[in-house]
């Protein structure tokens, strides 16, 4: 039995006002007349929070009682975006809140702007996790997200002379109204030390781990509201604290100040999100973060979410731990350790349970992005886990040997332990061996995983491999980000689409309705106006809403090929300034870039500087700037995306085929009625198939073609030699046109393109220019363009993350959503 729940405040204007003033007085300790904007925001956040509270408690209690099989999503990143807007959407309180605040002389829109978004992720993978927990709650799936409460999220980006400068993201500084700390549920996590064998009371040989030091994990809970379905799931993020024992031991040495100082050693574990997202550096602290959150999470699930005395042999009936990339894969030996060392399981029984409890999602195709940890490091930090990994590997390789008739080459290829260049643990292999399913994140990606990256494993266990194409939440990325389009859609087909995005299909006939297209264009224009004000206020950037808005926003990576977009810009500049092209013949466009570079990724940072320098020259040129402008707002994040995506006409998805696992930005743009110019890569393949060839601008090498070119020996300089406009564009950069006449400034970028060009920018240059000409011709006919745009919206319902969740439930988790909240 539990205590009766406090009822929610009245969902009326009067009820909201009362609750708001109470919060302002009792929690903020201030009065309306003296409250700062931040006070006002915090009181508002807490007020909205109160409307979710009883549903949250209800969800938690009924989940515990029913013990229905749950999904535990393990992710080192959650790129959540602002919480207030989402909570208002989920509760349907937006109008009530706006009116209530207005009656007090306050402006809801002004207060929304106060919130600093929790940027606890790098990019696609972290945002995907946030979309997934949203969908799971909305679909009433019993689920919990586990991760790390970084004190500093993804760095804030600023430009100094066009070059990226990183600043700390102190997102917690002004108060954190959305989190609930539970120090009473702290969990101890061991590190280091040694293992020993002993004989237990039953005379069995057993092993135990004697850690050398410990830290505590303190859980912070966040509400994950379902969309108007009365369910509120939990996201539980762990924060590291020094142990009490740790304090005492050092304090007893008598050096108080030093003892306090050294506490920060343990607390460093959750201090900061690593900003690299493709080349893991074997940083010890990163492995500490990974083990820390995973150990806390498994312990928490077993101790807090299962009934006392639960028989862990039945664990696979109660939970599936989904591994978001390799970052949480140390969970596999951790569960084995708990079962074998702590619970006295036989190895084989433990292994059966473990394999059935885990499933692994891979998010990459770049070999350098696959995590490996040096055996030396794992052995020092997690000696028992290393022993367990070795045994898992021994038994697995014995199986490989047996089934392959002793193919030692195969055995070496499939070993979880790599021998070169240094002995290390291949985390993707450990995940593949340790779980029941492996999935890629788009059809092409899953196919390439089977054919290339994990080919030996796919041959060994064909049924283990599956695909789940990514998705995005229509709540945040349509309903919240694009109220204009949402209103138009709802007026036409009702509001069921918000939780059943396939219903957008019903818009298809309206693509042929001139009045609907006109209204669609009106919405797009209003979204552009909104973007204009946003960029003017935030960055002092002036853009012309009457131009085509051509947008490329994503992390900066050579494989994503921001340089290809930039070469197009430089070529337009060249053609206009040289008189080859009359400005009057150019479709006026604004090219918007948004991208952060990993702080240690030198080439990516050079590319950012080059974009900014080209932008400055283009924007300052009297003739060119009349038809072409470049805008590169600093610090692209979820909040910027919410204003930018709905305004876009053209979505740039131009990675080299076979390199982008899926992409999710591509889905957001299509759903908001932008047309895509893109390669045959990642989820672009599926977008094009669904929206139709005539509503998508395809260009470039296919994956098999790119592989064949690489195989045959790619020579980028030959494209430079043979293509005049390419040569002219590169020469302009090389001669210092965009760097005050100093050609040496961007020498690295140019010479890399000419000599190596790993991602075949030069090979795809001409095809890209040709595709851009097709774009211009299409854009010249606004009616035909908006018809295509409407069809993009109508046919993109598949890309809802609700559908992704259904696919995971069917193909991976074998769990059904609850019918009632
Ligand atoms: C190991 C560490 C360096 C690391 C940290 C973050 C490695 C990778 C990452 C993040 C990867 C990522 O964001 N991948 C993207 O995942 C998206 C969601 O599946 C895909 O849409 C996108 O194609 C892929 O690049």
Q: Is residue 816 part of a domain?
A: no
The mean-pLDDT minimum among 124-133, 362-371, 703-712 falls in 362-371
**Which residue puts its alpha carbon closest to atom 21 of ligand 1?**
663
179/104 same-domain check: no
Question: With 70 as the cut, is the pLDDT of residue 449 above it?
Answer: yes
Per residue, the 3-state secondary structure of 461-517, as one string, reads CHHHEEECCCCECHHHHHHHCCHHHHHHHHHHHCCHHHCCHHHHHHHHHHHHCHHHH
Question: With 80 as the cut, is the pLDDT of residue 247 above it?
Answer: no
Q: Is residue 650 part of a domain?
A: yes
Q: What are the distances in angstroms from CA 611 to CA 597, 604, 625? A: 13, 11, 15
Question: With 80 as the cut, is the pLDDT of residue 5 above it?
Answer: no
| Per-residue pLDDT tens digits for 186-210 | 999 999 999 999 999 999 999 999 9
Q: Is residue 625 part of a domain?
A: yes
Give the residue from 467, 499, 530 where a domain finishes: 467
Q: Which atom of ligand 1 is nearest to the CA of 371?
A: 1
The two three-digit tokens of residue 799, written as one number = 């890309």
Q: pLDDT band at residue 163, thresholds of 50, 70 and 90? A: very high
Question: With 50 as the cut, is the pLDDT of residue 821 above it?
Answer: no
Beta bridge partners of 628: 589
Q: Is residue 559 part of a domain?
A: yes
Q: Which atom of ligand 1 is nearest to the CA of 77?
A: 6
Beta bridge partners of 677: 652, 697
Q: Is residue 815 part of a domain?
A: no
Question: With 70 as the cut, is the pLDDT of residue 342 above it?
Answer: yes
112/127 same-domain check: no
C-alpha 817/C-alpha 139 separation (Å) is: 7
561/452 same-domain check: no
The two three-digit tokens of residue 530, written as one number = 């909104």
Which of 389, 382, 445 lies closest to 417 in space, CA to CA? 389
Beta bridge partners of 181: 220
Residues with CB under 6 A from ligand 1: 122-125, 128, 276-278, 280, 363-364, 369, 371, 441, 470, 660-664, 682
433/528 same-domain check: no
Stretch 261-271: mean pLDDT: 87
Question: With 60 as the cut, is the pLDDT of residue 257 above it?
Answer: yes
C-alpha 652/C-alpha 95 separation (Å) is: 35
Q: pLDDT band at residue 816, thresholds of 50, 70 and 90? A: low
First and final C-alpha spacing in the chain:
19
Among 123, 153, 440, which residue has the most ligand 1 atoms within 8 Å of its CB, making it the best to mutate? 123
Give the residue from 467, 490, 517 where a domain finishes: 467
Nearest 5°: the CA angle 472, 478, 482 is 145
pLDDT score, position 6: 75
Q: What pTM did the predictor assign?
A: 0.97
| DSSP H or E segment with residue 46 | helix 37-66
Q: What are the distances in angstroms from CA 294 to CA 3, 78, 644, 665? A: 32, 15, 35, 28
C-alpha 606/C-alpha 567 separation (Å) is: 15
Q: Mapping DSSP to helix (H, G, I), strand (E, B) and coil, where does residue 161 land?
A: coil
Q: Average per-residue pLDDT in the chain?
A: 96
pLDDT score, position 259: 74
71/45 same-domain check: no
Beta bridge partners of 73: 145, 322
C-alpha 673/C-alpha 517 separation (Å) is: 11
The two three-digit tokens of residue 313, written as one number = 């042999």
Give the number of domains in the chain: 3
Stretch 338-342: mean pLDDT: 98
| Per-residue pLDDT tens digits for 280-329 | 887 999 999 999 999 999 999 999 999 999 999 999 999 999 999 999 99
Question: With 50 as the cut, is the pLDDT of residue 820 above it?
Answer: no
256/159 same-domain check: yes
pLDDT score, position 529: 98
Backbone angles phi, psi at 738, to 5 degrees: -105, 10
56/77 same-domain check: no
Per cent of the chain over pLDDT 70 is 98
pLDDT score, position 297: 99
Using the mean position of ligand 1's atoms as its centre, give its distance from the Cα of residue 780 in Å. 37
Cis peptide before 101 (omega within 30 of 0): no
| Per-residue pLDDT tens digits for 621-650 | 999 999 999 999 999 999 999 999 999 999
The two three-digit tokens of residue 249, written as one number = 């031991």
Q: pLDDT band at residue 563, thresholds of 50, 70 and 90? A: very high
Question: With 70 as the cut, is the pLDDT of residue 526 above it?
Answer: yes
Which of 303, 247, 286, 243 lies closest to 148 in space, CA to CA? 286
| Per-residue pLDDT tens digits for 7-55 | 889 999 999 999 999 999 999 999 999 999 999 999 999 999 999 999 9
pLDDT score, position 819: 44
Stretch 803-813: mean pLDDT: 98
**Which residue puts its alpha carbon closest to atom 10 of ligand 1?**
277
Nearest 5°: the CA angle 551, 556, 561 is 70
DSSP state of 558: G
458/352 same-domain check: yes
Q: Is residue 511 part of a domain?
A: yes
Q: What are the distances in angstroms from CA 236 to CA 54, 393, 492, 680? A: 18, 32, 39, 38
Q: Return all residues near 409 (Cβ < 8 A) that are at least 6 apart.
A: none
Q: Mapping DSSP to helix (H, G, I), strand (E, B) and coil, where does residue 233 land?
A: strand
Stretch 407-432: mean pLDDT: 98
Q: Which atom of ligand 1 is nearest to the CA of 682?
A: 23
Write out the residue range of the structural domain in which residue 18 sits: 1-66+89-116
Among 282, 289, 364, 470, which residue has the most ligand 1 atoms within 8 Å of its CB, making it the best to mutate? 364
**Which residue puts its alpha carbon closest to atom 9 of ligand 1?**
277
Question: With 60 as the cut, is the pLDDT of residue 1 above it?
Answer: no
Query: For the stretch 353-380, what's the b/e string if a residue is b when 16 or more beta carbons lie within 10 angstroms of its beta carbon?
Result: bbbebbbbbbbbbeeebbbbbbbebbbb
C-alpha 338/C-alpha 345 separation (Å) is: 9
pLDDT score, position 503: 98
Q: Where are the alpha helices (DSSP H) in 346-462?
A: 347-357, 375-381, 383-404, 408-414, 427-434, 443-448, 455-460
Q: What are the distances in angstroms from CA 684 to CA 24, 128, 445, 558? A: 48, 17, 11, 18
Q: Is residue 264 part of a domain?
A: yes
Give the residue from 450, 467, 484 where a domain finishes: 467
Using the mean position of ligand 1's atoms as its centre, give its distance from the Cα of residue 126 in Å. 8
For the annotated catalytic residues, the residue numbers are: 363, 554-555, 560, 664, 668
**Which residue puts its alpha carbon closest to atom 6 of ligand 1?**
277
Question: With 50 as the cut, is the pLDDT of residue 168 above it?
Answer: yes
Stretch 764-787: mean pLDDT: 98
Whichever domain contains 225, its CATH number is 3.40.50.2000
**Which residue puts its alpha carbon closest to atom 7 of ligand 1?**
277
74/37 same-domain check: no
| DSSP H or E segment with residue 615 | helix 602-620
Q: Which atom of ligand 1 is nearest to the CA of 127?
A: 18
Q: Is residue 14 part of a domain?
A: yes
Q: Which atom of ligand 1 is nearest to the CA of 327?
A: 1
368/387 same-domain check: yes
Among 661, 684, 807, which residue has the most ligand 1 atoms within 8 Å of its CB, making it the best to mutate? 661
pLDDT score, position 178: 98
**Which residue puts its alpha carbon closest to atom 12 of ligand 1?**
125
The 548-553 sheet, strands edge to edge: 628-631, 589-594, 548-553, 650-653, 675-678, 697-698
Query: For the stretch 452-471, what's the b/e string if a residue is b when 16 or more beta carbons lie within 10 angstroms of its beta carbon?
Result: ebbebbbebeeebbbbbbbb
329/397 same-domain check: yes
Using the mean position of ligand 1's atoms as its centre, give its distance from the Cα of residue 364 in Å. 6
598/577 same-domain check: yes
Q: Return all residues near 713 (Cβ < 8 A) that are at least 6 apart.
A: none
Query: For the stretch 583-593, what's the b/e string if a residue is b when 16 or more beta carbons lie within 10 angstroms of its beta carbon?
Result: beebbebbbbb
C-alpha 296/C-alpha 311 separation (Å) is: 20
The mean-pLDDT minimum among 250-254, 412-416, 641-645, 688-692 falls in 250-254
pLDDT score, position 251: 67
């Amino acid at each position: 039995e539990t205590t009766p729940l406090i009822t929610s405040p009245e969902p009326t204007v009067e009820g909201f006002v009362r609750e708001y003033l109470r919060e302002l007085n009792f929690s903020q300790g201030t009065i309306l007349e003296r409250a700062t904007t931040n006070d006002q925001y915090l009181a508002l956040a807490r007020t909205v929070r109160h409307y979710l509270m009883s549903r949250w408690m209800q969800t938690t209690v009924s989940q515990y009682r029913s013990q229905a099989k749950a999904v535990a999503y393990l992710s080192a990143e959650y790129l959540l975006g602002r919480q207030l807007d989402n909570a208002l959407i989920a509760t349907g309180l937006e109008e009530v809140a706006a009116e209530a605040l207005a009656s007090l002389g306050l402006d809801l829109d002004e207060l929304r702007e106060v919130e600093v978004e929790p940027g606890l992720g790098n990019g696609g993978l972290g945002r995907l996790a946030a979309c997934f927990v949203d969908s799971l709650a909305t679909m009433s799936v019993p689920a919990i997200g586990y991760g790390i409460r970084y004190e500093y999220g993804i760095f804030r980006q600023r430009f100094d002379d066009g070059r990226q400068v990183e600043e700390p993201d102190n997102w917690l500084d002004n108060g954190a109204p959305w989190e609930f700390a539970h120090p009473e549920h702290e969990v101890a996590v061991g590190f280091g030390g040694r293992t020993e064998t002993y004989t237990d009371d039953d005379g069995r040989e057993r092993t135990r781990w004697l850690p050398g030091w410990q830290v505590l994990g303190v859980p912070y809970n966040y509400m994950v509201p379902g969309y108007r379905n009365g369910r509120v799931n939990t996201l539980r993020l762990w924060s590291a604290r020094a142990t009490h024992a740790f304090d005492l031991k050092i304090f007893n040495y008598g050096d108080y100040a030093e003892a306090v100082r050294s506490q920060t050693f343990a607390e460093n574990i959750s201090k900061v999100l690593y900003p690299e997202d493709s080349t893991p550096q074997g940083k010890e602290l990163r492995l500490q973060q990974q083990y820390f959150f995973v150990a806390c999470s498994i312990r928490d699930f077993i101790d807090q979410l299962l009934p006392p005395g639960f028989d862990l042999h039945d664990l696979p009936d109660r939970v599936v731990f989904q591994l978001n990339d390799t970052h949480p894969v140390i969970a596999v030996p951790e569960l084995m350790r708990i079962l074998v060392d702590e619970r006295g399981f036989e190895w084989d029984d433990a292994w059966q349970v473990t394999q059935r409890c885990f499933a692994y999602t891979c998010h990459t195709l770049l070999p350098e992005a696959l995590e490996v940890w040096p055996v030396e490091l794992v052995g020092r930090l997690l000696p028992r886990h290393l022993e367990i990994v070795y045994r898992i590997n021994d038994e697995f390789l014995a199986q490989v040997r047996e089934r392959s008739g002793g193919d030692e080459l195969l055995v070496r290829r499939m070993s979880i332990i790599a021998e070169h260049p240094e002995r290390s643990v291949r985390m993707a292999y450990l995940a593949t061996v340790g779980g029941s399913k492996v999935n890629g994140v788009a059809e092409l990606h899953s196919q390439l995983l089977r054919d290339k990256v994990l080919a030996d494993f796919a041959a060994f266990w064909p049924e283990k491999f599956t695909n789940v194409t990514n998705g995005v939440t229509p709540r945040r990325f349509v309903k919240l980000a694009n109220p204009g389009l949402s209103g138009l859609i709802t007026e036409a087909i009702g509001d069921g689409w918000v939780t059943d995005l396939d219903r957008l299909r019903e818009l298809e006939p309206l693509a042929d309705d001139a009045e609907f297209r006109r209204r669609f264009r009106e919405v797009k224009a209003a979204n552009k106006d909104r973007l204009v004000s946003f960029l003017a206020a935030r960055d002092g950037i002036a853009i012309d809403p009457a131009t085509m808005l051509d947008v490329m926003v994503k992390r900066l990576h050579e494989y994503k090929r921001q340089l290809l977009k930039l070469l197009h810009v430089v070529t337009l500049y060249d053609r206009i300034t040289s008189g080859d092209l009359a400005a009057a013949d150019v479709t006026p466009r604004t090219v918007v870039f948004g991208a952060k570079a990993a702080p240690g990724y030198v080439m990516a940072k050079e590319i950012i500087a080059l974009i900014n320098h080209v932008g400055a020259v283009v924007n300052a040129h009297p003739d060119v700037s009349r038809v072409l402008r470049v805008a590169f707002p600093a610090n692209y994040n979820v909040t910027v995306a919410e204003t930018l995506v709905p305004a876009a006409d053209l979505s740039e998805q131009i990675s080299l085929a076979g390199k982008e696992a899926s992409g999710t930005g591509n889905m957001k743009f299509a759903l908001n009625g932008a047309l895509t110019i893109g390669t045959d890569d990642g989820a672009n393949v599926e977008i094009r198939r669904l929206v139709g060839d005539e509503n998508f601008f395809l260009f470039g090498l296919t994956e098999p073609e790119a592989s064949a070119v690489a195989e045959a020996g790619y020579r980028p300089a030959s494209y430079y030699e043979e293509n005049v406009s390419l040569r002219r564009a590169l020469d302009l950069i090389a001669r210092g046109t965009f760097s005050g006449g100093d050609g040496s400034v961007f020498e690295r970028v140019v010479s890399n393109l000419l000599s190596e060009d790993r991602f075949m920018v030069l090979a795809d240059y001409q095809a890209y220019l040709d595709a851009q000409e097709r774009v211009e011709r299409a854009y010249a006919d606004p009616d035909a363009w908006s018809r295509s745009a409407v069809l993009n919206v109508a046919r993109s319902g598949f890309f809802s993350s609700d559908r992704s969740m259904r696919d995971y439930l069917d193909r991976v988790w074998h769990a059904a959503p609850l019918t009632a909240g």
